[in-house]
Amino acid sequence: MKQQILLIPLLLIISFASVFAVNSEEGNELEPIDITIHSDGSTIAIEYEDIGVFEQEISGENYILWINNVEYTIEKVTQVENMLNLLIPSWIEISDYDELTLTFFSDNQLNDKGVSLMSFEKRTIENTVQYEVKFPDYYPNFSWNHINTHLHFHKNIDLLNEEEVQFVAHQSPFITLEKTHAMKAYGSTEKGIAAETRQLKRINPNLQVLYYWNGFVHYDVYEASEEFQQHPEWVLEDSRETSNTNYDLTNPEMRSWWVQSLKEAIVNSNTDGVFVDALTQITVENNKNYWGEEKFYELGESVFKLLEETRSAIGDDKIILVNGIRSVNEQTNGTQYADYVDAFMIEHFAFLQAESKENILLDLKAMDNMGKKGKMVLLKAWPGWYWRENEFMDQYSQDELIALANDNLDFPLGCFLMGMHEYSYILYGWGYAHTQGWMEDYEKLKQNFGKPLSNFKKEGWILSREFENGKVMVDLENKTATFEKSFFNYYANSQTSTLVDSLNSDGLDYFEKVKNPDPKNNTATFVGKFKNQPNEQTSISFYLNGSLDSESTTQFKFQLYVKKGSHLSVLNHSISVNITDNDGLIWEEELPIEQYNEWINYTIEIPYDQLKNLELNTIQLRFDTPDNDKVLEYYLEGVMGPNVVSNAIELEGYSNKYGNEVILDLKSTQNITVSNDLTFQLEVDTDIYEGLDNVFSSEKRLVLNLPKPLVSSTSKNIKINITKGSIVDESDNKLEVSSKININNKTTTEFVEYYNTTKRNSLVRVDTLLNTASIIEDSATSPIITSFFPDTSTLKFTRGENTVFSFLQFNLKKAIDLKTSSTFSINIYQKSEDESITDNMISCYLRKDNKTETQVKVDKFITKQDEWDNLIFDFSSVQLLEEEYNQLLFFFASPDYDFDASNKSIFIEDIRGPELMNFTIEVPVEDKITSSIDSEAILVVYPNPSSHNIMYFNRDVTEVYVYNLEGKLIFEETSDQMRWVNLQKINSGIFLVKVRLPDGKYYTQRWVKQ
């Protein structure tokens, strides 16, 4: 029997009353006696006194079923005596707390007695549905105490590094590893996913991992592909010219190969199920034009067979997640698979072809109903761009993109909260590579709304929903969301929130981050664990970043697990909640420990009417036990309470991994704004940099863009000072001139200099500089003089006339050591008149021995004009084809097929990259080397050997460079004239010191620091 491919049409809300005008005489219409719904939610019964016989069936299109004021169609109407039975489509699930009404628009059809049915609008239906949903035991963990996330990504170069694997293993209860994951390191997707799964489950054995396997499009990145390629009859014939190779699912042998390959991969990788991609591509109506109508329906039926065969092969305890549900052109596709799968992804939510308010509502209706059916639903949210929009993304650094993504999270998060049910998860990123937003801990996803108190309701295009800890409203027309939170997180997943300044404990044997002892009843991965010390008062204090705000809530909540051993005979232990201000204890309440060896929720009411006008800024949990000589184990999680009103702006500052940015994150629930003239001074150890005003600002983050990498991994003392302008939050707290912020050093990239126009003689790593189809001026007049680029001359690169490819090529003296780093830095300047280019970008290539087959590249669009801009080319996510690259190339506006970049120019400065392999300094032949104090010598460095930090010279010098014996530049200083330098940061060893005299000549001397 042919299975129906269900397409759910959007109801066009028009005035049916005007179409189906009532022509019957007054009093000549039948009115319903009663309207009821069957207990299983499948049918609505409308009872009439004497309905008679109608010549034609009454259409379901004449009815609108309103569930929480959201409109749905009726599939079919049947008549049994005086009863009309309205069949509700099977994809719709009605729970016992839904509000139901029914509208009927009469078409004036007369029965055998000349009477028509009366129209009615939104008649209330008493909800008598007996709703119960059961979830399989193999579903992953889920908690109402936080927003549940799912990660779906690939890292094709290698396995996750230590920091990444710790993040992934504890960020989500289950993840999907996308095709090509770790394929470069392991040779195939199967082996890469298997290796990553082993690594992740060693860290978190409870983590569930899904294996990516496309259900329609073939990708030649699997070992299983070898067999598929031997069977051309398994490929779907398509009249289009397409680059995709699609599976002909109507072929039983092809399906058998697909299912058995999947089964073997799941067994060998110890994964917990499968993510089946691309099923919605099969049932697009337009495909009839390319496959023929008969083939189209056969393929649709074959999808059901494929899913049945998959379940039979992999077993009843593995997750089948399909992609999925998609609403396009006001129709929803995918829910027809509900009886065959465990989970759905809504991939293009509010994005691309699904961004209209009508399609968004359809997706949320599908999410709501599939969730009520007990299905996992994963909503893939997008920040407003995706991975193919390179020109947009190149305007921002990675830290700025993350800040933008966090700012843009409100609307998709609000929509997710509208449709979510138990086992709903949100995904957030702008692609599927691991660097495209997946490795971020978004602050807005840490919120705790608690359980929903109802399903979402609709008024016009405004959706709303009540939760235990607040209310959420979404405007589908304007794409905005409003969150009215009553409770705010202080402590969750063993971490304090930005509302807490510090956490202190007294009388504890220890207080540490541990894995949850009972993840089934509280799915936080980590919790805080502590023991009391015998005969000691035990307490934990939360010092807040401000004072409690009673307008959000007057309650305080926390979850506690108390482990009781058999040695405890007395069971009247208690916990006290104390609230204090700067002067000490203000109020306390004592609660008994209700249960042992399980998670218990505790709630207290704070008497704000007694505590008016007090700045309450500390909450203390004190644990009392009558067995003072006994020890109890406590586990703490989910500490929540009123919002905290800040009395100062608290910013957490840190450098980025490249050292060319300083990031300031706000530690508050409020947003910040900055003045247009905001300017900083940066201190890095003994160096001071003035006039830094290239500031990107978002709701919660400031990014100070540095003109070049100024912070190294060894920098110790980093501060920024506001020298102009201000930062203001919503409570009018300000950071103004002279405000100083300490910066944590998170820079991990080390650069060495490859090329600098004013220091050409010190460029020991470059053998030759070549150019192709271009003009090079290595002493061109600098387009702008700044404190960071003070020299009057620079390198100018001009494209040739009517040339497709144009580039600079640096031949290096040794191969690049890509094991230490794979990042390159260049500063470019482009005049605005040279901007009008089709592909206005710089491409950084690595090449070996002039062999183009070895080359790999990273592209960056030029997005700034009339200023120096630092571009970073990071090859860490690029599949390298060689191990010993020895050429660095920069292509400008290439390829230029329309020749609109002819004679266009850019200026280049300060090219840096990783150290070279086994590199030692070559001393120029014209340099005179001295090794001892000699009054007749042209240059003397003394004392030598030295046990001091000051190095002296016997005459004025203008430049000083100190290299270790591996050729790495570890110190440099320039000045109009100097007779000494401070080398305090240099440890003991043998070094080469290279200096420049005022006449321009260079001299090199060995120097020993003891």
Task: Tell me which of 323, 340, 361 is where a domain ends.
Answer: 323
Residues 304 and 375 in one domain: no
pLDDT in tens, 231-280: 999 999 988 877 789 999 999 999 999 999 999 999 999 999 999 999 99
Separation between Cα atoms, residue 303 and residue 305, nearest integer Å: 5
Q: 277 with 217, same domain?
A: yes
Task: Tell whether 136 is covered by a domain.
Answer: no
Residue 771: other Cβ atoms inside 10 A: 16
CA distance 75 to 87: 6
What integer pLDDT is reported at residue 923 of this predicted model?
A: 46
Burial class (CB within 10 angstroms; exposed 0-12, middle 13-18, buried 19+) of 114: exposed
Q: What is the number of other CB atoms lying within 10 angstroms of the CB of residue 815?
A: 18
The set of residues, in sequence order, having a beta carbon less than 8 Å from that of 187 and lying 6+ positions away, is none
Contacts of 828 (CB under 8 A, 6+ apart): 842, 862, 868, 869, 871, 906, 907, 908, 909
- Over residues 406-429, the mean pLDDT reads 97
Return the closest-CA partner of residue 710 out of 753, 659, 750.
659
Return the minimum-mean-pLDDT range out of 96-100, 765-769, 800-804, 807-811: 765-769
CATH number, position 837: 2.60.120.430
User: What are the residues facing 798 on neighbouring strands?
Assistant: 775, 905
E strand residue ranges, 516-648: 526-532, 538-544, 547-549, 555-563, 574-581, 584-592, 599-605, 618-624, 633-641, 643-645
pLDDT over threshold 60, residue 570: no
Is 2 buried (19+), middle (13-18) or exposed (0-12) by CB count in 10 A? Answer: exposed
Q: Is the pLDDT reported for residue 802 higher than 80?
A: yes
Confidence grade of residue 835 (pLDDT, cut at 50, 70, 90): confident
Task: Assess whether 761 and 909 both reside in one domain.
Answer: yes
Residue 484 confidence (pLDDT) above 80: yes
Asked if the model's pLDDT at residue 936 lies above 50, the reply is: no
Confirm whether 28 is domain-assigned.
Answer: yes
317 shares its domain with 286: yes
- Give pLDDT, residue 22: 38
Tell me: do 426 and 499 sit in the same domain: no
Res 568: pLDDT: 58
DSSP string, 86-98: EEPPTT----TT-
480 or 729: which leads in pLDDT: 480
User: Which amino acid type is present at position 260?
Assistant: Q
| pLDDT tens-place string over residues 854-865 | 999 999 999 999
Average pLDDT, stretch 529-541?
80
What domain range is 669 assigned to?
A: 651-744
User: Looking at residue 1008, what is its pLDDT?
Assistant: 83
* Residue ending a domain, choose from 57, 90, 125: 125
Cβ proximity of 111 and 51 under 8 Å: yes
Q: Which residue has the higher pLDDT, 733 or 195?
A: 195
pLDDT-derived band at 198, boundaries 50, 70, 90: very high
Residue 556: inside a domain: yes
How far CA 670 is from CA of 665, 731, 790, in Å, comes to 12, 8, 40
**pLDDT at site 759:** 61
pLDDT at 306 exceeding the cut of 80: yes
User: pLDDT at residue 216 above 70?
Assistant: yes
Instruction: Mark which of 597, 630, 645 sits at the end of a domain.
Output: 645
Q: Are residues 830 and 978 in the same domain?
A: no
Name which residue leads in pLDDT, 524 or 634: 634
| In a shared domain, residues 339 and 309 | no
- What is the pLDDT, as a whole number, of residue 166? 93
Predicted local confidence at residue 243, as pLDDT? 74
CB-CB contact of 72 with 372 (8 Å)? no
Two structure tokens written together for 339: 């009886």
Do 287 and 191 share a domain, yes or no? yes
User: Parallel, antiparallel, or unpaired: how do β-strands 319-323 and 217-218 relate?
Assistant: unpaired
CA angle 703, 706, 712 (to 5 degrees): 105
Residue burial 302-340, b: 16+ Cβ < 10 Å; e: rest: bbbebbebbbebbeeebbbbbbbbbbbbebbbbbbbbeb
Shared domain for 513 and 629, answered yes or no, is yes
Residue 923 lies in a domain: no
pLDDT cut 70: percent of the chain above it: 93
DSSP 453: S
Alpha-carbon torsion 693, 698, 700, 701, what sign?
Answer: negative
Q: What is the arithmetic mean of pLDDT over 217-224?
A: 96
* 91 and 229 fall within a common domain: no
Q: Which of 195, 172, 199 is nearest to 182 (CA)?
A: 195
Q: Give the helix/strand (H/E) hosting 392.
A: helix 390-393
Whether the CB-CB separation of 756 and 769 falls below 8 Å is answered with no
pLDDT at position 530: 85
Closest alpha carbon to 160 in 212, 199, 208: 199
* pTM for this predicted structure: 0.81
Report whether pLDDT(763) > 80: no
* Share above pLDDT 90 across residues of the chain, in percent, rounded to a whole number: 56
Instruction: Look at residue 138 and tell me if it is in a domain.
Output: no
Confidence of residue 769 (pLDDT cuts 50, 70, 90): confident
Domain count for the chain, please give it: 7
pLDDT number for residue 14: 33
Amino acid identity, position 602: Y
Judged by average pLDDT, the poorest of 253-257, 500-504, 707-711 is 500-504
- Residue 676 pLDDT more than 60? yes
Tell whether 818 and 722 lie within a shared domain.
no
Which residue(s) pair with 827 in the sheet?
Answer: 870, 909
The Cα 965–Cα 990 span in angstroms is: 7
Q: Name the pLDDT band for 730 (thresholds 50, 70, 90).
A: confident
Task: Name the more confident of 756 and 566.
Answer: 756
Taking the CB of residue 925, how many other CB atoms lie within 10 A of it? 5
- Same domain, yes or no: 242 and 289: yes
CATH number assigned to the domain comprising residue 592? 2.60.120.260
CA distances from 102 to 37, 42, 44, 61, 160 (A): 11, 14, 9, 12, 54
Residue 859 β-bridge partners: 843
pLDDT digits (tens, 9 = 90+) for 879-935: 888 889 999 999 999 998 889 999 999 999 999 999 998 876 554 433 333 333 333
For the chain, what is the total number of helices (H) and then of strands (E)? 12, 68
CA 125 remoteness from chain centre: 43
Mean pLDDT for 680-701 is 93
